[in-house]
Chain A
Amino acid sequence: MNHPRSVDLEAFACGEPWPDVEAHLHVCAACEAFVARLRGEVARGPKLSPLSSPRPAGSPSPVLRVLTWALPPLAVAAGVLFFLRGTVDHSRGGSEPAAGETPVASAEVPSGTRFKGRPQVAAVRERGGQQERFATDLHVMPGDRFRVEVALDRPETILAAVRGDDGQWLEIMPPGHRGVGTHYSEQAARVDTQPMSGWIIVGTPEAVAQARASGHLDGVATLRVSWDGVSPLDAAGGAGR
């Protein structure tokens, strides 16, 4: 079997559109596993912050090196928490923002910058006080909160929503015109005790509406959300056991 070039697999793992690679992964377990490992690296993010102390090219490196994590600290935003349930009915709940919580500012790049590609979607999950970023599959369990991170390479009007496999819908980033750069949803989604799985969907309002209506996710950027917790039924030993 001919496999795609490794550079194409890596580009795909970074979120670039490579239809041939995507098609190949459906028929090649080895490449699928390789891309999954690459996505794990991508999800962990770069270790260095080269822009924090740029040096002229070719200059001697300092004796002391400090590796800093490039991911910025993400404060939990003030605002309403949304509750996601496994049943069709979902309700919106609110809680007072915790002390010290501040809204997250978006990092915007001046317009006119244009790279090629779709919006890049990631999720930042808070579990037990620990925050972790996911660029591929997001696994959730009861008590988790997660926020959506969207990187745009051109100014665009977008919105982000969570679409459950059971059809439930939660808009987590309202439609708005956003510039080039990285944006975080102002509000977090909170997972309650019911199992849930679905997709985080990001795109223009038209594309997202189309995806919601048709169930096809071709025209939007997505991130899979999967249940990681124990269902109440299993925890209770199962009904009738």
Chain B
Amino acid sequence: MGPLTRDEVTVLYGRYGALLERRARIVLRDEALAEDAVQDLVANLLRRGGAVREARSPYHWLRRATDRACLDVLRRSRRTRAALSLDDVDEVGAPPGLDPEARRKVLQSLEALDDDDRELALLVFLDGLSQGEAAQELGVSRVTVNKRVQRVRARLQLSLSADREDEVTP
């Protein structure tokens, strides 16, 4: 699909950048890493972002690209995140219909998940997609999504248990 021009990126970023930055801050909860992710997103748009021209929703397309940039940054980041609380990076809050505490716990546990499961966790537990919608979004089968969702639930419960166990000292 080819690259986007700088002017095209300027138009897109002017329109969508505020919410894309919000997304990066929420996923990474680290201002510096969020900025890195945005820089990577823009670099990728300049290299091969042409597909957004044909997207039904440019925002949908850009937000998926932002998620991937964030997960790449998370994967290669070798320093300990100065993880901020969700309230510090997001004044808007959780969307209606989503359990805010579950959303918070998923974001806090993102690093504990496998690479394959992180993007799914964002779609299902952060954005409230059904398993069918997530399967379509990721281009995998519903069976695959179901297995990964069970795995994520199991992993989160383990990490949650560990936190609760740490609080109980003999």
Binding site for B on A (CB under 8 A): 1-3, 5-7, 9-11, 13-16, 28, 30-31, 34, 37-38, 40-42, 44-48, 50-51, 54-58, 61, 65, 67, 70, 107, 109-110, 113-117, 120, 151, 153, 180-182
In the complex, which of the residues A14, A37, A56, A61 contacts B16, with contact meaning CB atoms closer than 8 Å? A14
Fill in one digit per residue for B1-22: 1 if any A CB lies within 8 Å of its CB, else 0. 0000111111111111111111
Given contacts A5-B128, A46-B14, A115-B12, contact A13 B19 (CB under 8 A): yes
Q: Contact: A58 with B72, CB < 8 Å?
A: yes
In the complex, which of the residues B11, B15, B52 contacts A14, with contact meaning CB atoms closer than 8 Å? B15
Q: How many A-B residue pairs have CB under 8 A?
A: 145
Beta-carbon nearest neighbor of A48 in chain B: B38
Bound complex: CA of A56 vs CA of B52, how far in Å? Answer: 20
Q: Contact: B10 with A107, CB < 8 Å?
A: yes
Q: Contact: B59 with A7, CB < 8 Å?
A: yes
Check: B93 CB closer than 8 A to any chain A CB: yes
Q: Which among A14, A45, A55 has the highest number of chain B CB atoms within 10 Å?
A: A14
Q: Whole-angstrom distance from the CB of A195 to the nearest CB of chain B?
A: 31
Beta-carbon nearest neighbor of A28 in chain B: B96
Interface residues on B, range: 35 or more
Across-interface contacts of A65 in B (CB, < 8 A): 32, 35
Q: Whole-angstrom distance from the CB of A99 to the nearest CB of chain B?
A: 30
Across-interface contacts of B55 in A (CB, < 8 A): 116
Across-interface contacts of B12 in A (CB, < 8 A): 115
Q: Contact: B63 with A55, CB < 8 Å?
A: no
Of the 9-residue stretches B39-47, B108-116, B146-154, B157-165, which lies at the interface with chain A?
B39-47
Bound complex: CA of A110 vs CA of B41, how far in Å? Answer: 22
Bound complex: CA of A194 vs CA of B11, how far in Å? Answer: 36
Given contacts A3-B96, A50-B38, contact A115 B58 (CB under 8 A): yes
Across-interface contacts of A58 in B (CB, < 8 A): 40, 72, 76
Given contacts A48-B21, A116-B56, contact A41 B11 (CB under 8 A): no
Given contacts A34-B96, A58-B40, contact A109 B17 (CB under 8 A): no
Q: Contact: B7 with A54, CB < 8 Å?
A: no
Could you list 28 A-B pairs, sorted by A, with CB under 8 Å?
Answer: A3-B95, A3-B128, A5-B127, A5-B129, A6-B95, A10-B19, A10-B63, A14-B15, A14-B19, A14-B59, A31-B96, A34-B93, A44-B18, A46-B18, A48-B17, A48-B21, A51-B10, A57-B40, A57-B43, A57-B69, A65-B35, A109-B11, A113-B5, A115-B58, A116-B55, A116-B58, A181-B7, A182-B14
Given contacts A14-B16, A46-B18, contact A30 B43 (CB under 8 A): no
Check: B81 CB closer than 8 A to any chain A CB: no
Given contacts A61-B39, A109-B5, A109-B8, contact A37 B93 (CB under 8 A): yes
Which 6 residue pairs of A and B lie closest in terms of their CB atoms, listed nearest first? A46-B17, A6-B95, A3-B97, A11-B59, A30-B96, A109-B7
Q: Which among B9, B11, B52, B60 has the highest number of chain A CB atoms within 10 Å?
A: B11
Beta-carbon nearest neighbor of A1 in chain B: B97
Q: Contact: B18 with A41, CB < 8 Å?
A: yes
Which residues of B56-105 have CB atoms within 8 Å of chain A's CB atoms? 56-60, 63, 69, 72, 76, 91-93, 95-98
